[in-house]
A and B are shown apart, each in its own frame.
Chain A
Amino acid sequence: MFYRLSGVYHTNYISDSRIYKVPADRNLALTFLILGVAAPFIAPSLYVNSYMLPWLIWTSAALGLNLVTGWAGQLHLGYAAVMAVGAYSAIHAARFGVPWEFALIIGGLSASVIGSLFAFAALRAKGLYLALTTLAMQFIMDWVLTHSPAISGGSHASLQAPTLKLLGQEITSDTGLYYVALAWCLLVTIFMLNLKRTGLGRALVAVREKDYAAAILGVYSFYYKIVAFAMSSFIGGVSGALLVATFFFLAAPEQFSVAVSIQALAMVIVGGLGSIIGSYFGVALILLVPGLVNGVVVAASEQLGMQLNVETLAHIPNAVYGALIVIILIIEPLGLGKLYGNIRDYLMVWPFDQLRK
């Protein structure tokens, strides 16, 4: 009923390859877009600058990882390293005096070069072997960052980002920074939505399903894997740079450690491999739920007057959060994106499907 299908039929290929075939989907996306644009005026500033902003940037990063892992099927355990390359090269470029617009692109390109360089070596290996090679990239990057003060910014290993300045405008307000993050996230989302319906996107899916079957069909899998790594690293690099420019204001190695790589992969897996809306959900769960659960547990224990030890109080949210991930993956192994898909499918013909019973 909500996702009304009546009147939706295609008479030509252009209409068949539209992004939103069901009007309800388009309207829903538009509603959320409007909410996103209006957020700084309707939501408390705390939510905008410490929940929504990192959420949007991490979503763009997760979409990039989803491109290589969800679409092209290549397990990537070193995504934080790629983001670090982007962040550090963009900041160094900006500190050198390059305008931020170009610094971000430099960050993306250098991440892209290093990311695909590793892919070159790595793509002779497949599956778990590839995963370990990308993990090695992560460790190499960690080592480089902690051992080269010239890159990481002195003996404290913290590198300050100059004030973000786009189109001649210094961006310092919470609202401004939020819009930068929103714009980048939208750009990546639109790119990913369109990727789905291009030849490139279909080739990536063919490579994912079976690379030698793809080769028989005339899809040169090696080339497409490199392209996937390069594109995803570009997105990751720019996202990393923006994360520092709009949220942390300085880069430190811990922001891009191996734990962060694992988290990024968890975002994609919990969200759903190859699902765009899933990436949004997955990032929300991995990034925001620990803090929220923490707040809820602390508040609940205060309200109930429980004298809990601070340590216990810190570990309960972790247990809840872990349980939440397990429960979600048991209910729907394909992730939160599929969970949403199930609800949508159910509502597609509801309540008319009840009549048959």
Chain B
Amino acid sequence: MKLLSSAAFISTIVFGMAMSIPAAALAEPFRVGVCYDLSKAYTFATPQVAQAAKDLAALVNRKGGIGGEPVEVIVRDHGNEPQRGVECYEQLSREGVFVFDTLSTPVSLAVLPRAMEDGRVLMQSLVGRGDAVDGTVFDWVYPIGPTYWGQAANDIAYIKQLHDGDLSNVKVGFVYFDYPFGQEPIEILKTLSEKEGFELLLYPVPLPGNDQSGVWSKIRRDKPDQIVVWMLGGAHVVASKEMKRNGIPMDKYISVNWLNEVDIANIGAKNAIGIKRGTNVVGGQDIPLYKEIMAELYDKGNGNGPIEKTQDVFYNTGLAMYSIMFEAARKAVELQGLPITPDSYRAGLESLRGFDANGLMAPITVTAQDHGGGGATRIEMWDGTAWVPQTDWLSEYSDQVWAVVKESSSKFGK
């Protein structure tokens, strides 16, 4: 009996492995390898982004695909483990996929040397090494969207607007997770503090950010005028509690783009009034593309997940990322026809000019030099029910940002 059950077990595995070999596809779809962390560290954002990717692909297919061919997003979990990310990349790239998105910094770092070597397009909006916007060095990597450096510079530009163009007597606090994600903007903030004359105060927060009491009581004593925050998920909630305890008004808080409706709900919609965040996409649901997806998919019961997940700014982020990817494919077909190849896809990406997906995001213009698309962001404020833009799309201090980019990218490959 024992033998029988183990034989059954083995046959299940063998059967499963046989099934995992894909059946030959009939049409030749344009495929994107979405190797995401859906089970460990990045789960605060990946489900929404993956759902957006699938919804957008479904919408594109309903409208006839790209150049008559369907599009497909292949979502796989890598659990934020570089080894499994590489496995996902290697497997899909052997199946002919040449556009990859990892949405995880460790995996993006691990896949980057292979993508550069094999000639596969690595999209890494908002994650991975920021200096990859330098297209002259990283010819296969496209971190479209703002780098953390550019985003921090835009935050400073906003603070400058608040203080009527004079930062000389201003104190800017920088609260950050004390590991590379949070440390990245320090360099550019220091450069700008020298240029603009504001005082920069650094407040490192140890991971995972559950204990911030020391940081915020220090901030109470130091009285910075504005506080730029580079933290994620639950850490925002902890910060808001500490701010309340220390009597620091919420409108001093300018978060990195990783602040969403879930965090707002956890802080409390009322308590969060005045909180700000830098963003490269428009928050909320008043967006043509979003409405189209609702009408075409969710209203007909064909959505790729719960509708609540779509009411989240990270869903919009996902729509923005994949609008860019599909638009580039469309351009590639326009320029060089079918089938789309890695080279024609790159040409497609580099021909994007002022593309904003019909008012969904900051307009991007990708060139062979600038793979970041310009890196524009704006500041939005939570007013209790919705995000209210505080600025136009900004892309300030680009000379300083590019100096930091070049300084870092010049070391690559040496």
Contact = CB atoms under 8 A, between A and B. Distances in A.
Interface of A: 45-46, 49-51, 54, 146-147, 152, 154-158, 160, 247-250, 252-255, 287, 290-292, 294-296, 298-300, 303, 309-311, 313-315, 317-318
Contacts of B50: 310
Contacts of A313: 38, 75, 77
B77 A314 contact: yes
B91 A46 contact: yes
A83 B16 CA distance: 35
B39 A252 contact: no
Contacts of A51: 87
B411 A154 contact: yes
Given A154-B411, A160-B412, A160-B413, A287 B83 contact: yes
Point out which of A152, A247, A291, A313 has the most chain B C-beta atoms below 10 A from its C-beta: A291
Contacts of B86: 50, 247-248
B13 A50 contact: no
In order of increasing CB-CB distance, the 7 nearest A-B pairs are A314-B38, A314-B77, A296-B16, A254-B106, A299-B20, A249-B113, A156-B129
Given A250-B110, A311-B38, 9 more contacts: A46-B91, A146-B183, A247-B83, A250-B112, A255-B110, A287-B83, A290-B84, A292-B17, A314-B77
Contact of A252 (B110, B178, B305): B110
B90 interface: yes
Contacts of B77: 294, 310, 313-314, 317
Contacts of A249: 113-114
A157 B180 contact: yes
A49 B47 CA distance: 29
A154 B106 contact: no
Contacts of B39: 311, 314-315, 318
Contacts of B304: 310
A17 B13 CA distance: 39
B79 interface: yes
B47 A310 contact: yes
Dominant SS among interface residues on chain B = helix
Nearest to B37: A314
Interface string B106-148: 1001101110000000000000111100000000000000000
Interface string B38-76: 110001000100110010000000000000000000011
- Most B CB contacts (10 A, CB to CB) among A295, A310, A317 go to A310
B109 A158 contact: yes
Interface string B309-344: 000000000000000000000000000000000000
B94 interface: yes
B390 interface: no
B242 interface: no
B110 A310 contact: no
A175 B224 CA distance: 57
Contacts of B168: none
Contacts of B187: 155
Given A250-B113, A310-B75, A291 B16 contact: no
Interface in B87-114: 87-88, 90-91, 94, 105-106, 109-110, 112-114
A310 B38 contact: yes
B87 A252 contact: no
B223 to A, nearest CB: 27
B408 interface: yes
B1 interface: no
A50 B90 contact: yes
Interface in B171-191: 178-180, 183-184, 186-187
B4 interface: no
A146 B90 contact: no
A156 B147 CA distance: 12
Contact of A298 (B54, B76, B90, B128): B76
Contacts of B178: 146-147
18 contacts: A45-B94, A146-B179, A156-B130, A156-B408, A250-B110, A252-B109, A253-B179, A253-B180, A254-B105, A254-B109, A255-B82, A290-B79, A290-B81, A295-B16, A296-B17, A310-B36, A311-B43, A318-B79
A46 B82 contact: no
B19 interface: yes
A253 B109 CA distance: 11
B19 A299 contact: yes
Nearest to B49: A310
Contact of B91 (A50, A146, A314, A318): A50
**A253, A299, A314 — which one has the most chain B CB atoms within 10 A of its CB?**
A314
Interface string B392-412: 000000000000000010011
A10 B17 CA distance: 45
A309 B19 CA distance: 20
Contacts of A146: 178-180, 183
A255 B76 CA distance: 20
A38 B256 CA distance: 51
B184 A155 contact: yes
Given A249-B113, A255-B106, A300-B19, A310 B413 contact: no
A254 B207 CA distance: 14
Contacts of A287: 83
A296 B17 CA distance: 6
B131 A156 contact: yes
B319 to A, nearest CB: 16
Given A46-B94, A310-B38, A299 B180 contact: no
B257 to A, nearest CB: 18
A318 B38 CA distance: 11
B82 A254 contact: yes
Interface string B275-307: 000000000000000000000000000001110
A255 B80 CA distance: 10
Contact of A296 (B20, B75, B80, B83): B20
A49 B91 CA distance: 10
A156 B186 CA distance: 12
A315 B43 CA distance: 11
Nearest to A312: B38
Given A156-B129, A156-B184, A160-B413, A54 B83 contact: yes
B305 A250 contact: no
